[in-house]
């Protein structure tokens, strides 16, 4: 069953949830300054991974949209170490935001995002990939992990 919300939407909702939880229910601060600035590195790294992954898909002239049928099986660049580098980058960015804020409740957001992607979105996409690319996708799947 196709999701009514695209992964980008889950990403934005997760960012909002992280900030909301941090300011509304900061239960306990677990990361303090200057260590919280490591979050900036994670945020930037995540956004870089997303950018280069999208760039690879564009260069290969295949669909970037999550619920569209891809034209090609892409396995180079960021796709050589993760089958889902865009979601990995998004999750890294969310983790970076959580580290930057430092409160325990802010860490719920990347966990929820990971769960939705891992158990709802990715299985639907993998089913489409298996239908379209058959043994090629199965071979790729056996060589490259879902996340890292």
pLDDT digits over 26-58, tens only? Answer: 889 999 999 999 999 999 999 999 999 999 999
Of the listed ranges 23-27, 44-48, 102-106, 110-114, the one predicted with least confidence: 23-27
Do 140 and 79 touch, CB atoms closer than 8 A?
A: no
pLDDT, residue 35, reads: 97
pTM of the model: 0.93
Give the tens place of pLDDT for each residue, 114-135: 999 999 999 999 999 999 999 9
The CATH code for residues 63-148 is: 1.20.120.1630
Residue 27: what pLDDT?
83
pLDDT of residue 64: 85
What is the residue extent of each domain of the chain? 63-148
Average pLDDT (4-23) is 91
Question: What distance in Å separates the CA atoms of residue 37 and residue 17, rounded to the nearest whole number?
Answer: 20
- CA distance readout (Å), 17 to 4, 50, 86, 131: 19, 20, 20, 35
């Amino acid at each position: 069953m196709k999701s009514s919300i695209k992964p980008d939407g889950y990403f934005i909702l997760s960012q909002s949830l992280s900030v909301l939880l941090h300011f509304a229910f900061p239960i306990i601060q677990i990361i303090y300054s200057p260590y919280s600035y490591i979050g900036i590195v994670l945020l930037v790294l995540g956004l870089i991974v997303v950018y280069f992954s999208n760039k690879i898909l564009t260069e290969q002239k295949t669909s970037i949209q999550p619920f569209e049928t891809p034209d090609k099986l892409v396995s180079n660049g960021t796709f050589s170490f993760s089958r889902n580098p865009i979601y990995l980058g998004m999750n890294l960015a969310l983790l970076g935001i959580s580290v930057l804020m430092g409160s325990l409740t802010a860490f719920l957001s990347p966990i929820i995002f990971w769960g939705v992607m891992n158990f709802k979105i990715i299985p639907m996409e993998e089913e489409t990939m298996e239908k379209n690319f058959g043994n090629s996708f199965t071979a790729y799947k056996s060589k490259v992990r879902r996340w890292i």
